[in-house]
Structure 1
Amino acid sequence: MGQDLRDAFVCGYERLVSWADLLDQINVFPVADSDTGCNLRISLAPLRRFNGNAENTIRSILSSATGNSGNIAAGFFSGFLVANSPADLLRSAKDGRDKAWQAIGDPKPGTILTVFDELVRAFESRDVALNMESVSRLIDNLQQAVWSTYEFLPELKRAGVVDAGALGMFIYLEGFFRRLVCNTDTFRPVTELFSGRLRISSSYEPELVDSHCVDSVVRLDGQPENAVEELSKHGESLVAVRDGSYLKIHLHTNNPQAVRTKLESFGDVVRWADDDIGSGAGTIPSPGVLHQAIHVMTDAAGSVTRKTARELGMTLLDSYIIVGDQSVPETLFSPSELYAQMRRGAKVSTAQASTFERNQVYQSVLDRYQDVLYLCVGSVFTGNYDAVMAWKGKNDPDDRMIAIDSEAASGRLGTIAIATARHSNTVKAADEVIRYAKDAVKRCEEYVFLDRLEYLAAGGRLSRTRSFFGDLLHMKPVISPTAHGAKQVGVARNRDGQLGFAMDRLKKRLGHDSSPLIVLEYSDNQAWVGNTVKEEVQSRYPLADIVLQPLSLTSGVHMGPGTWAVAFLPECWK
């Protein structure tokens, strides 16, 4: 496979990532559970590091695929990804389309399948050549296919939106084909291409759902007969994709145990995920906070969860967590899984999004919001501030995106971002929010308490000799992120010493009757931080707004399990 084709597969994914939040916001079919964008990002994440080995990547996609759209997309890519050259795309697109249709227990037009059908139709009519004119015509046809989903499915028409999965695949394929013809400098805004069909109608009332979402991989014993037919009896939205001796299953069911029993009759269940979608489905996906003085964006390395970002109407720019061959967006990786693997000695690392992906996110945010305030991780830690300023110089002539170097990381950045977003949601003037953010950068502090030094040593941030003797002597460093990097500000020998250090620093900065914003961060010690630490802080500062957040996984990778932190802003804007 040539480099251009490999790059095109990667480009499509990075383009998709930049619009994933919007896909979540318009997700109503088959269940209104606001996760189409997240599911596609998780499912197709193996494409981000695609090296031309189609067999391994297909297996990784099938293994990681989650949700209805993610599993259908996995079926498509199990065929589409085997193209060895652009000349093979007709065959591979048709194979992928057929596998996607065959994977679904009850396939319906007006979904992601409609986009696959149009792609194959264009190839079969010899309407596709690798030049800009032909690719532009193909993209126009795919756009019309997405528009048609609104007419096909009554649920979409009632909601007033196009299908989220179909839109996601359109965005992917637009990036893919434009990369093949070396034209990725500018893209037409999705908000213009589908104007009027990207916000759920206020009159829409989704159906209540009492169901579980099952994603499973089975290593088959032999060739089970009528597997799909048998599984269809146990639920809805069935997607079943076969890869050699493995069978990947996605199903919505109200009896997950019966499904597992049936799968075990087929072979060895090597992966099982069972999520209750009843609690999140049946409610209208939130478009975010509707009234903001300015839209706030920050880096996910700032210990802000996707849930918190949604509640405050923020945008997060993800880094990636890499464990072995697996690369997953930071906010979509399971913290418990990460820390468990680290304790088992797995090699883990982090990676920033590519320059192209970051640029696409910047443009997507500006396409969706009038003005944006981007609070970047401190430039001493990453190159995100330099990257956005370089992009602004070429793409933001009206200075609609204001970027601030927060000089911070981890919970300090998260605290600044949370406080600033809250402020933006309560005032009218963007300038006032910008001034508030700059002041918060000056006043916010954070203290991070490490349990062991070995993880800093593994990441090259500390010599292994110093790490060995530090752990041997039970020396637990206390560090604080500053404009000049992470600074060691103390040492504690145990949890009691860490908590005492934290309370001493809070006492020096806060009055008993003050109302600060205090963010407590945990790694794999949520119970202790959420109970012991929070109760102690609350007793000392009864008027404080205390927020419990997981430590950003970027920080967690470098600092390791057992780490916790406290960040605070002396005045909390209510």
Structure 2
Amino acid sequence: MAVVVVTDSSASLPPEILDELGIAVVPLHILVGDQALREGIDPVAIDYASDTVTTSAASPGELRAVYEQALERSGGDGVVAVHLSRQLSGTWEAGRQAVRDMGADGTIRLVDSLGAGLATGLPVLAAARQARRNAPLAAVHDTAVATAARARTFILVNRTEQLRRSGRLSSAASFFGSELVTKPLLQMVEGRLELREKVRTRSKAYTKLVAAAVDAAGADGAAVAVQHLGAAEAADTIAGRLRELVPGIGELLVAEFGPALAVHLGLGSVGVLVVPGGCG
């Protein structure tokens, strides 16, 4: 058999890639009133401006069920589970609890992607490609860890109120003056979401976003992903610019943020992820 890769629904990989590489997905939860909806499974209609909608991590029981199925499918070769940053969600910790409960420390390896969305998805993709080549458990795990460590994420949001209210934005990210007249450009730093800079206009913010991604990509090829919420035209334009400007671009994915991330980012958000060296 072969190592099986597991992730959570924040990873945002297209269904065809999940199916092709046999990647198992555990849904995160969106809490709307008294309803707990499973991302990617239950129909989700959300008012992204509401302060009553929130999210919750996958539970140890949910993770254990998927891990057990994946381990069986691997024929004993093992499982690599890549989840969104433990600084942003309790999912990684719930996964660790599930592995302890199973007594499977040697056959299930957990990876903190240090990101979310396709910043989780691309390390998952790299690991799954290694697994498809029948690489051993340690090699698949190391590929996911190395890809996550190389990844650089930049996100432009309209406002940070939702992120700060939910605790997803580092307390180090302070603002001076009215946030209404600036466009906050954020970045992931060791799994935390922090302020990179404030930009006065959206057009300048897009330029800064592209420049940050191009600089992070370097000159030796990279995998690139663009995500958005309700900003498809801007995302396509940014993707086109990155295709022109990133030397040796290996692959380029464009996708919407899933509901579990969109709740915290808000409408109009655009993010760019760069993995120097690509995803195998």
Fold similarity call, TM over 0.5: yes
Q: 1:535 aligns to what?
A: 240
Closer/same/farther in 2, CA of residues 404 and 535 from structure 1, 3 Å limit: same
Superposition pairs for residues 333-344 of structure 1, below 5 Å?
337-338=45-46, 341-343=47-49
Instruction: Please state how far the C-alpha of 1:458 moved relative to its aligned partner.
Output: 5.0
- Distance (whole Å) between structure 2 residues aligned to residue 348 and residue 313 of structure 1: 32
Q: 2:178 aligns to what?
A: 469
Instruction: Please state how far the C-alpha of 1:406 moved relative to its aligned partner.
Output: 2.4
Closer/same/farther in 2, CA of residues 517 and 411 from structure 1, 3 Å limit: same
Correspondence for 1:546 among 233, 252, 263: 252
Closer/same/farther in 2, CA of residues 441 and 390 from structure 1, 3 Å limit: same
- Distance (whole Å) between structure 1 residues aligned to residue 61 and residue 160 of structure 2: 35
- Distance (whole Å) between structure 2 residues aligned to residue 388 and residue 529 of structure 1: 33
Instruction: Please state how far the C-alpha of 1:368 moved relative to its aligned partner.
Output: 2.5
- Secondary structure, in 3 states, of the residue corresponding to 2:195? strand
Closer/same/farther in 2, CA of residues 359 and 489 from structure 1, 3 Å limit: same
Range that drifts further, 555-564 or 345-354? 345-354
Q: 1:329 aligns to what?
A: 38
Letter in 2 for 1:483: E
- Distance (whole Å) between structure 2 residues aligned to residue 393 and residue 486 of structure 1: 29
- Distance (whole Å) between structure 2 residues aligned to residue 434 and residue 385 of structure 1: 15
The structure whose residues are more often strand, as a share, is 2
- Distance (whole Å) between structure 2 residues aligned to residue 328 and residue 385 of structure 1: 20
Closer/same/farther in 2, CA of residues 467 and 326 from structure 1, 3 Å limit: farther
- Secondary structure, in 3 states, of the residue corresponding to 2:48? helix
Closer/same/farther in 2, CA of residues 425 and 301 from structure 1, 3 Å limit: same
Q: Deviations over 1:478-529 (max 9, x none)?
A: 22223352111122233322222122223323345x3311011011112321
The structure whose residues are more often helix, as a share, is 1
Closer/same/farther in 2, CA of residues 398 and 412 from structure 1, 3 Å limit: closer
Q: CA RMSD in A?
A: 2.8
Give the conservation status (yes or no) of the 8 Å contact 2:64–2:98.
yes
Superposition pairs for residues 381-530 of structure 1, below 5 Å?
381-397=88-104, 399-456=106-163, 458-459=165-166, 469-471=178-180, 473=181, 475-483=182-190, 485-512=192-219, 514-530=220-236
Correspondence for 1:557 among 260, 263, 278: 263
**Radius of gyration: which is bigger?**
1
Please report the TM-score for the alignment, with normalisation by the length of structure 2: 0.85
Give the conservation status (yes or no) of the 8 Å contact 1:457–1:467.
no
Q: Which runs of 4+ in 1 moved over 4 A?
A: 460-463, 465-468
- Secondary structure, in 3 states, of the residue corresponding to 1:547? strand
Correspondence for 2:25 among 316, 324, 344: 316
Instruction: Please state how far the C-alpha of 1:372 moved relative to its aligned partner.
Output: 0.7
- Distance (whole Å) between structure 1 residues aligned to residue 235 and residue 19 of structure 2: 24
- Quick one: higher RCO (CA 8 Å, sep 6+), 1 or 2? 2
Give the conservation status (yes or no) of the 8 Å contact 1:378–1:408.
yes
Q: 2:67 aligns to what?
A: 362
- Distance (whole Å) between structure 2 residues aligned to residue 573 and residue 356 of structure 1: 31
Letter in 1 for 2:233: A
Correspondence for 2:4 among 295, 298, 304: 295
- Distance (whole Å) between structure 1 residues aligned to residue 42 and residue 262 of structure 2: 12
Closer/same/farther in 2, CA of residues 356 and 428 from structure 1, 3 Å limit: closer
Superposition pairs for residues 222-371 of structure 1, below 5 Å?
293-332=2-41, 337-338=45-46, 341-343=47-49, 345=50, 347-370=52-75, 371=78
- Distance (whole Å) between structure 2 residues aligned to residue 492 and residue 334 of structure 1: 36
Q: 2:274 aligns to what?
A: 568
Q: Which runs of 5+ in 1 are unaligned?
A: 1-290
- Distance (whole Å) between structure 2 residues aligned to residue 380 and residue 497 of structure 1: 29
- Distance (whole Å) between structure 2 residues aligned to residue 486 and residue 407 of structure 1: 10
Closer/same/farther in 2, CA of residues 423 and 515 from structure 1, 3 Å limit: farther
Give the conservation status (yes or no) of the 8 Å contact 1:321–1:333.
no
Please report the TM-score for the alignment, with normalisation by the length of structure 1: 0.44
Q: Which runs of 5+ in 2 are unaligned?
A: none
- Distance (whole Å) between structure 1 residues aligned to residue 103 and residue 233 of structure 2: 45
- Secondary structure, in 3 states, of the residue corresponding to 2:111? strand
Instruction: Please state how far the C-alpha of 1:295 moved relative to its aligned partner.
Output: 1.1
- Secondary structure, in 3 states, of the residue corresponding to 2:40? helix
